[in-house]
């Protein structure tokens, strides 16, 4: 077989693998956005079979032959084939040691655990979920044993989401945040300026909130010809290639800002996915490169754009026209200042957000080291919340049960959220050298911002690594100082410190 034939066969093979993964995603989308309850265990079975088929392909002898052959000719490969090879090689080497049958059982466990978590959350009953969570953790630890690790077992999981990320780097990252943001929050709590968002907690119907979602999506250029908005318990985004990138939100009738910022956030994810180059459409590279880079895009739209005075000013009249009487006293300034200290991560303001993530990071580090007692986790959660944020969640629904991630086996994912914040602040700093970001927002010109992001991030999909992307833009690796400066500037002004 000549090289061109090998490349063609390799691409056909990865296309098939990608299609299986997309089928699993489609089942997942359907389950989360409203499939009949009675069918869930059957769907879980199909998902288990399809996932283990895709997983089997990623570690097969055939894949091994492709990797060996292509590696021999690495200097003759174009960038796209090289990136595909890098991705397949990484998956192959990290997963080949996990027995297929154990992986199948794990995937089935995960497919069923979502419902158990949902019920436990709804009924505020951690014990109902503890056994399943413990089983998931035991699988994660066992898989790391199979896969091996460098320095710290948690590094193996971190690297799955953010290639190159380690406990060593994150300890420095969160250490700096702890040194600066925790004291800043204490100064805010002692300040005479008191901001909250209680005046926003008025009834706004689901229908009106849906209309607001559409105003936002149109405003920031989320293409609904290649996208879709539905409702789910936990807002998320998912994609089936660049031409079908979907999002969900959840409407809470006395808290319109919850959905407002969820839509901004999830649409930010989807816009990233929609702007990849055509050359990689519907291939294994037709995804975001890492969860940290993904979160940087969602955070950019949610925070840098969505929580800016200029953005709120540009939509204020339209939104107020929709919400009607209940919120008639909310001025633009009040809308901008609607900052709240909340026990719920997804509704957190920009300042405390990273502290929510720090709670999870520290817990995951211990859990994955095997250093945990499943029954103590809710207590530890609450203690850390009190120490860093000064709040104790009222109950476990508002505490340890709030996030879907652990029930999906997504340990190692949470740090991505804080990394996303840090990347987005670093991106903003460099974007401002090329364009006037605030003027763009003011002038309804989000397109110029998206073009910059497309040129530097979006178009590459998974072709370039996170470190390459950020270094190309800024000449340095991820640096948390940009985020700290952004938060200090914004919050010392807001609170007049």
Asked whether the beta carbons of 494 and 338 are under 8 A apart, the reply is no
Q: How far apart are CA 424 and CA 179, in angstroms?
A: 21
Q: How far apart are CA 140 and CA 325, in angstroms?
A: 51
Sign of CA dihedral 60, 25, 264, 279: positive
**In this complex, which beta carbon is closest to Zn ion, that of residue 202 or of residue 298?**
298
Interaction with Zn ion in 269-298: which residues (CB under 5 A)? 298
Helix, strand and coil content of the chain, in percent to the nearest 5, comes to 70, 5, 30
Q: How far apart are CA 227 and CA 328, in angstroms?
A: 32
In the complex, residue closest to Zn ion by CB: 298
Q: Is 241 left (phi over 0), alpha (psi -120 to 50) or beta?
A: left
3-state helix/strand/coil string of 243-256? CCEEEEECCCCCCH
Residue found under tokens 């809308």: 335
Q: How far apart are CA 162 and CA 464, in angstroms?
A: 13
**In this complex, which beta carbon is closest to Zn ion, that of residue 201 or of residue 458?**
458
C-alpha angle 73/74/75, rounded to 5°? 95
Q: How far apart are CA 288 and CA 271, in angstroms?
A: 11
Site string for Zn ion, 296-315 (x = CB under 5 A): --x-----------------
**In this complex, which beta carbon is closest to Zn ion, that of residue 332 or of residue 346?**
346
In the complex, least distance from residue 416 CB atom to Zn ion, rounded to whole angstroms: 8
In the complex, least distance from residue 216 CB atom to Zn ion, rounded to whole angstroms: 16
Give the chain's end-to-end CA distance (angstroms, integer): 70
**In this complex, which beta carbon is closest to Zn ion, that of residue 209 or of residue 298?**
298
Q: How far apart are CA 1 and CA 241, in angstroms?
A: 30
Structure tokens belonging to residue 196 = 């909250």
**In this complex, which beta carbon is closest to Zn ion, that of residue 385 or of residue 404?**
404
CA separation (Å) from 362 to 26, 367, 368?
33, 9, 10
In the complex, least distance from residue 295 CB atom to Zn ion, rounded to whole angstroms: 5
In the complex, least distance from residue 136 CB atom to Zn ion, rounded to whole angstroms: 21
In the complex, least distance from residue 264 CB atom to Zn ion, rounded to whole angstroms: 11
Sequence-ordered list of residues with C-beta below 8 angstroms from that of 78, at least 6 positions apart, any chain = none
Would you count residue 465 as binding Zn ion (CB under 5 A)?
A: no
In the complex, least distance from residue 410 CB atom to Zn ion, rounded to whole angstroms: 12
Q: Is 266 a catalytic residue?
A: yes
Sequence-ordered list of residues with C-beta below 8 angstroms from that of 366, at least 6 positions apart, any chain = 372
Sequence-ordered list of residues with C-beta below 8 angstroms from that of 387, at least 6 positions apart, any chain = none
- Total site size for Zn ion, rule CB under 5 A: 1
In the complex, least distance from residue 229 CB atom to Zn ion, rounded to whole angstroms: 15
**In this complex, which beta carbon is closest to Zn ion, that of residue 283 or of residue 421?**
421
**In this complex, which beta carbon is closest to Zn ion, that of residue 28 or of residue 81?**
28
In the complex, least distance from residue 423 CB atom to Zn ion, rounded to whole angstroms: 12
Beta bridge partners of 228: 246
Active-site choice (32, 162, 266, 273): 266
Strand order in the sheet with 227-231: 227-231, 245-249, 237-239
**In this complex, which beta carbon is closest to Zn ion, that of residue 55 or of residue 260?**
260
Bridge-based pairing state of the strands 237-239 and 227-231: unpaired
Would you count residue 259 as binding Zn ion (CB under 5 A)?
A: no
Asked whether the beta carbons of 316 and 374 are under 8 A apart, the reply is no
C-alpha 76: how far from chain center: 35
**In this complex, which beta carbon is closest to Zn ion, that of residue 152 or of residue 299?**
299
In the complex, least distance from residue 298 CB atom to Zn ion, rounded to whole angstroms: 4
**In this complex, which beta carbon is closest to Zn ion, that of residue 397 or of residue 424?**
424
Helix axis angle, 100-122 relative to 40-58, nearest 10°?
Answer: 140
Q: How far apart are CA 171 and CA 361, in angstroms?
A: 9
In the complex, least distance from residue 168 CB atom to Zn ion, rounded to whole angstroms: 25
Residues that bind Zn ion (CB under 5 A): 298
- The residues assigned a catalytic role are 266
């Amino acid at each position: 077989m000549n090289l061109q034939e090998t490349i063609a066969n390799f691409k056909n093979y990865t296309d098939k693998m990608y299609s299986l993964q997309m089928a699993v995603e489609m089942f997942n989308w359907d389950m989360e956005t409203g499939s009949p309850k009675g069918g869930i265990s059957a769907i879980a079975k199909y998902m288990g079979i399809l996932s283990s088929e895709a997983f089997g392909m990623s570690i097969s002898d055939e894949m091994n032959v492709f990797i060996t052959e292509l590696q021999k000719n690495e200097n003759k490969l174009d960038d796209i084939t090289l990136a595909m090879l890098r991705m397949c090689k990484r998956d192959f080497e990290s997963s080949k040691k996990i027995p297929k049958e154990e992986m199948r059982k794990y995937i089935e466990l995960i497919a069923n655990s979502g419902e158990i978590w949902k019920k436990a959350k709804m009924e505020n009953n951690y014990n109902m979920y503890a056994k399943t969570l413990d089983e998931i953790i035991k699988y994660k630890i066992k898989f790391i044993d199979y896969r091996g690790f460098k320095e710290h077992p948690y590094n193996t999981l971190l690297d799955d989401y953010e290639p190159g990320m380690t406990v060593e780097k994150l300890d420095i990252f969160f250490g700096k945040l702890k040194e600066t943001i925790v004291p800043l929050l204490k100064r805010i709590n002692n300040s005479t300026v008191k901001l909250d968002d209680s005046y926003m907690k008025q009834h706004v119907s689901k229908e009106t909130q849906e209309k607001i979602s559409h105003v936002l999506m149109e405003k920031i250029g989320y293409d609904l010809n290649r996208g879709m908005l539905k409702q789910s318990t936990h807002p998320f985004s998912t994609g089936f290639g660049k031409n079908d990138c979907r999002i969900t939100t959840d409407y809470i009738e006395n808290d319109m800002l919850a959905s407002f910022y969820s839509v901004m956030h999830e649409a930010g994810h989807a816009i990233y996915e929609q702007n990849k180059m055509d050359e990689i459409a519907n291939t294994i590279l037709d995804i975001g490169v890492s969860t940290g880079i993904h979160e940087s895009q969602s955070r950019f739209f949610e925070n840098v754009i969505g929580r800016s005075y200029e953005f709120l000013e540009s939509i204020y009249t339209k939104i107020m026209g929709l919400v009607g009487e209940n919120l008639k006293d909310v001025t633009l300034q009040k809308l901008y200042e609607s900052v709240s200290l909340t026990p719920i991560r997804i509704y957190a303001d920009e300042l405390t957000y990273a502290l929510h993530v720090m709670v999870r990071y520290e817990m995951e580090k211990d859990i994955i080291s095997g250093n945990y007692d499943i029954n103590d986790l809710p207590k530890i959660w609450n203690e850390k919340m009190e120490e860093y944020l000064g709040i104790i969640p009222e109950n476990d629904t508002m505490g340890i049960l709030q996030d879907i991630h652990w029930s999906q086996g997504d340990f190692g994912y949470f740090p991505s959220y804080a990394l996303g914040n840090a990347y987005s602040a670093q991106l903003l700093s460099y974007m401002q050298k090329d364009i006037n970001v605030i003027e763009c927002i003011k002038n309804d010109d989000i397109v110029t911002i998206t073009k910059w992001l497309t040129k530097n991030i979006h178009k590459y999909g998974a072709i370039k690594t996170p470190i390459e992307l950020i270094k190309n833009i800024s000449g340095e690796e991820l640096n948390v100082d940009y985020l700290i400066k952004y938060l200090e500037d914004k919050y010392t002004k807001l609170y007049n410190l």
